[in-house]
Amino acid sequence: MANMALTEAVYYILLSLTKPLHGYGIIQNAEKLSGGRVRLAAGTLYGAINSLIEKGWIESLPEDKSSRKKEYVITQTGREILIIEIERLKELLRNGEEILGG
């Protein structure tokens, strides 16, 4: 489990949820962070949100009566997972640059 790579979608969802956002907010934020490269599709995002809630990496906030939109936020476990993933990504980058002399 500790050695598993996160998908790009999950990585950007977790990063986006360091502040509370609703579904569409996550899509917009991931697109902004990646300079327009990552466009999460709604069906994929919905499935990922449900899996992440089940794993306890994110949680949904109590619903606001004035808005029908559900907001989500990262949990402590989710943050730890992100930190491990960032270490893994650094390793990938380090090795790539060393070997290709980047």
Partner 1 sequence: MRTVIHKLFFVWDFDKEEKWLCDMAAKGFTLVSVGFCRYEFEKCDPGEYGVRLQLLNHRLHHPESQHYLSFLEETGAEHVGSFLSWIYLRKRTSEGAFELFSDFESRIKHLNRIILMVISIVAANLYIGIFNILMCFFYHNEANYLGFINLAIGLIGSVGIWKLLRKRKKLKNDKQIFE
> Which residues are near partner 1 by CB under 8 A?
7-9, 22-24, 27, 39-48, 68-70
Nearer to partner 1, 1 or 76 (CB): 1
Nearer to partner 1, 45 or 74 (CB): 45
Q: Mapping DSSP to helix (H, G, I), strand (E, B) and coil, where does residue 59 land? A: strand
HSE value, Cβ hemisphere, 13 Å, CA-based, for 86: 9
Q: Mapping DSSP to helix (H, G, I), strand (E, B) and coil, where does residue 9 land? A: helix
Nearer to partner 1, 70 or 76 (CB): 70
Q: Give the span between the Cα atoms of 2 and 45, in whole angstroms.
A: 23
Tokens 């491990």: give the residue: 84
Q: Which two tokens stand for residue 3?
A: 């050695």
Nearer to partner 1, 23 or 75 (CB): 23
- Nearest Cα to 34, choosing from 11, 68, 62? 11
As measured in angstroms, the least distance from the Cβ of 101 to partner 1 is 25
